[in-house]
Structure 1
Amino acid sequence: MRTAVRAAFLPLMAIALSGCAGMGLEQVLQAPTFQVDGRQQAQLRLLGPSLQNPLGGAAVRLYARVGNPNPVGLTLTRLVGQLQLSGNNAARVDFPLGVPLQAGGETVVPIEIAINFNDLPGLANVVRNAIGGQPINYALNGTVGVDAGLLGQPSFGPMTLLTGELRATR
């Protein structure tokens, strides 16, 4: 009996998937959702000058609550984009990831971003605000890639992934 059910199910699944092939995976699968994790504060740490960074730099840690709205499990494989601080481009982001996302589930993903002040003279106001303890607005924009197993490896974006405020920690 099971063999007969499988034999009937496999052609139906193939027809369903072939009908989806013309639509593109982005229309079959929904993009993972990104929200700021409200339980953990985004952080900015100022780094002093060093041989590699004569002007110093900063380390930004964001906490994203990533959700999978799909009825199948996915693996978040890549995040490529741009971090903006106070409206200024601060760093390119290109992370290979390997975060499993259960069907209908969500998980918190810490995102570490290094900023080199040698290349970014336009961030003087950000540094002043950080030193003064003022909040700094941020936006993380980009494209994400997922591995959906037999359904393929689609990318979603570009889109705004996270926005919020961060403060310097000492």
Structure 2
Amino acid sequence: MRSRLIWLVAMLALALPACASLGALAPVVQMPRIEVAEGRQAEIRLVAPTLQRPLGGASVRLWARVQNPNPFGLTLSAVDGLLFLEGRQTAGVDFPLGLPLAAVGDTVIPLDIGISFADVPGMADVLRQALDGSPIGYRLDGSMRVDAGVLGQPSFGPTTLLQDTLHVRR
């Protein structure tokens, strides 16, 4: 019995440092790829003034295809960044996602962003384009975090995550 206990303690002593070093494997985790989802149109919808948005605002929906290039599953924990419309910084974004991604899998997700016109001076040109029904160029710059279990929780970016045009939804 005593020899089993000694053997168990010896195995634990060897295993614990090995487990602690697994976090060093985080560099083997590849960044998920994110791109504009085919067949899904990004859209902007004008929102009437409310108590929270006295000057009104807009609601933007972007569609993203997220691909996991890794041979193991992971969770896309968050996407943080900035939305630009026609080259103007328009809104900060912070998506706590918790989106599971299968090994070498992909999925399409909506990213909904609210914009208050009170927070964005100089949006007259973008508003005019929206009212005319013209497409509006957008860019989402940011970083993403993943949870890869024992391989760690690496962050990737900043980088341009998505870039395309929005169309007015009426």
- Whether the TM-score (by the shorter chain) exceeds 0.5 is yes
Q: Which moved more, 1:107-116 or 1:119-128?
A: 119-128
Instruction: Return closer, same or farther for 1:116/1:19 CA change in 2, 3 Å cut-off.
Output: closer
| 1:89 equivalenced with 2:89 (yes/no) | yes
Q: Distance in 1 between matches of 2:121 and 2:99?
A: 34
Report what 1:165 is aligned to.
165
Q: TM-score, normalised by structure 2?
A: 0.86
Question: How big is each residue's C-alpha offset from its partner over 1:66-94, in whole Å with a ceiling of 9 and x where there is no partner?
Answer: 00000110100111100000000000001
| 1:42 equivalenced with 2:42 (yes/no) | yes
The amino acid across from 1:137 in the alignment is: G
Report what 1:63 is aligned to.
63
Q: Which runs of 5+ in 1 are unaligned?
A: 1-6
Q: Distance in 1 between matches of 2:39 and 2:58?
A: 22
Q: Distance in 2 between matches of 1:119 and 1:148?
A: 36
Say if 2:23 and 2:150, in contact at 8 Å, map to a contact too.
Answer: no
Deviation for aligned residue 1:49: 1.1
Q: Distance in 2 between matches of 1:88 and 1:162?
A: 15
The amino acid across from 1:165 in the alignment is: T
Report what 1:141 is aligned to.
141
% identity of equivalent residues: 54
Deviation for aligned residue 1:154: 0.7
Equivalent residue runs for 1:1-170 within 5 Å:
14=18, 18=21, 21=24, 25=26, 27-170=27-170
3-state DSSP of counterpart to 1:122: coil
Say if 1:20 and 1:28, in contact at 8 Å, map to a contact too.
Answer: no
Deviation for aligned residue 1:121: 1.6
Instruction: Provide the alpha-carbon RMSD of the alignment.
Output: 2.0
3-state DSSP of counterpart to 1:121: coil
Say if 2:23 and 2:152, in contact at 8 Å, map to a contact too.
Answer: no
Q: TM-score, normalised by structure 1?
A: 0.86
3-state DSSP of counterpart to 2:75: strand
Instruction: Return closer, same or farther for 1:66/1:117 CA change in 2, 3 Å cut-off.
Output: same
Deviation for aligned residue 1:20: 7.6
Say if 2:22 and 2:151, in contact at 8 Å, map to a contact too.
Answer: no
Larger radius of gyration: 2
Q: Distance in 2 between matches of 1:87 and 1:161?
A: 15
Deviation for aligned residue 1:138: 0.3
The amino acid across from 2:73 in the alignment is: G
Instruction: Return closer, same or farther for 1:130/1:69 CA change in 2, 3 Å cut-off.
Output: same
Report what 2:5 is aligned to.
none
